[in-house]
Amino acid sequence: MGSALPPNDAEPIALLGGSFDPIHHGHLRAALDAATALGVRQVTLLPANVPALRDPLSASAEQRLAMLKLAVGDDPLLAIDGCEIARSGATYTAKTLRGMRQRWPDRPIIFLLGADAFSRLTQWQDWQSLLSLAHLGVLTRPGQALCAPADAHFMAQRCDAPALLTTRPQGNWCSITVTPLAISATAIRSLIAERLSPRFLLPDTVLDYINRHGIYRR
């Protein structure tokens, strides 16, 4: 799958990275809320191939991509960029962002991540280079306090208004308040493994796909 980033070279790029194993309404609503807060037209979902910091994923990359396509449908709010899957091997966000920055030296890039992922940011490879490549938009998540790296330089780059992130290419981070939905892919996988229904936590089209392919059954 090729890049589906907004075609206008001046338009900010908002990316939501993740494993999407599977995609759920927590992701989708957060993407919509973040787009509104940032004032961008579109959020691009960026599925990781093999996330470097977690246990092996349950669904294959092809299955996760297929579920993303079903969830997105023809909604212009959302796009999918399969570049990390196409690159294969372990996924490092800094590497992905470096590639985008080389391609678009001046374009605002906002990498969105949940507060849980943000609290582990210092474990990411090359995390100190992230703000030299993009902005970070930290999505609030129920039960997860905002926990930023204890680094004076990083802390000084915080800004309070999400829309400011679209006015320059990179360099800042901001908390973005999204609808509190205590939905996680882990909980969905557990429900399916226990033969319980995860219905209404994710799109029906995605659940149909999971059922048809027998994914997440133990």
Residues that bind ligand ATP (CB under 6 A): 18-21, 26-27, 30, 113-114, 116-117, 139, 141, 178, 181, 183-186
- The Cα 20–Cα 28 span in angstroms is 11
Q: How far is the CB of 126 from ligand ATP (least distance, A)?
A: 17
Residue 71, SS3 per DSSP: helix
Nearer to ligand ATP, 29 or 101 (CB): 29
In the complex, the smallest distance separating the C-beta of residue 91 from ligand ATP, rounded to whole angstroms, is 12
Strand 50-51 and strand 90-91: the pairing is: parallel
- Residue whose token pair is 């802390």: 155
Least distance (Å) from ligand ATP to the CB of residue 48? 8
Chain position whose Cβ is nearest to ligand ATP = 114
- Nearest distance, CB of residue 140 and ligand ATP, angstroms: 7
**Complete DSSP assignment for 84-117:** HHHH-SEE-HHHHHHHHHHH-TTS-EEEEEEHHH
Amino acid identity for residue 200 in this structure? F
Tell me the C-alpha distance between 104 and 156, whole Å: 25
* 10 or 145: CB nearest ligand ATP: 145
The residue (of 113 and 215) whose beta carbon lies closer to ligand ATP is 113
Name which of 108 and 137 has its Cβ closer to ligand ATP: 137
Instruction: Identify the DSSP state of 195.
Output: T
